[in-house]
Amino acid sequence: MSGSHDRAHYAFVVASGAAALGRDVVLFATNQGCAALCRDWSGLSDADRDARIQARGVAGLETLRDACLELNVRLIACEAGLRAEALDPALLLPQVEVAGIATFLSAVGAGQVITI
């Protein structure tokens, strides 16, 4: 929701880790957090943090996003969040679904919800 690199990065860490363990994962972003689902995620605050953590041997956001896509993580950008932040859905990765909170909650069902 906040659109900061650290929160987006860790959301992808958790999502890719859970998917690697065989869990079904749905990642839902809203408001400024939707920038993490854009092809160009440089709109995240402190986006240059990515280069710093990669220099320290930590997987960058691009690597984690690619892993999530390879592991079939379902990516949803909140329709209302996109509107609230004036983000064009055309900027999203092609694999990102635009939907609302009801779609997210329905997809999760009785599964675990983690917020970051």
Which CATH number characterizes residue 80's domain? 3.40.1260.10
Q: 66-87: per-residue pLDDT in tens?
A: 999 999 999 999 999 999 999 9
Q: Are 6 and 46 in contact (CB under 8 A)?
A: yes
Q: Is residue 19 part of a domain?
A: yes
pLDDT at 1: 83
- Show Cβ contacts of residue 59 under 8 Å, excluding neighbours closer than 6 positions: 13, 67
Within a domain: 27: yes
Q: Does residue 45 lie within any of the structural domains?
A: yes
Taking the C-alpha atoms of residue 19 and residue 75, their distance in angstroms, rounded to an integer, is 12
Split into its structural domains, the chain has a count of: 1
Residue 28 lies in a domain: yes
Instruction: Give domain status of residue 92, yes or no.
Output: yes
| C-alpha–C-alpha distance, residues 114 and 116, integer Å | 7
Residue 5 pLDDT > 90, yes or no? yes
Q: Is residue 102 one of the residues assigned to a domain?
A: yes
Mean pLDDT of 48-56: 98
d(CA 41, CA 92): 9
| Domain carrying residue 25 | 5-108
**What pLDDT score does 2 carry?**
87
List the alpha helices (DSSP H) in 1-116: 5-20, 49-55, 61-70, 79-84, 101-108
- Position 58 scores a pLDDT of 98
Q: Is residue 114 part of a domain?
A: no
Asked if residue 46 belongs to a domain, the reply is yes
- State the angle between helix axes of 5-20 and 61-70 in degrees (0 to 180), rounded to the nearest 10: 30
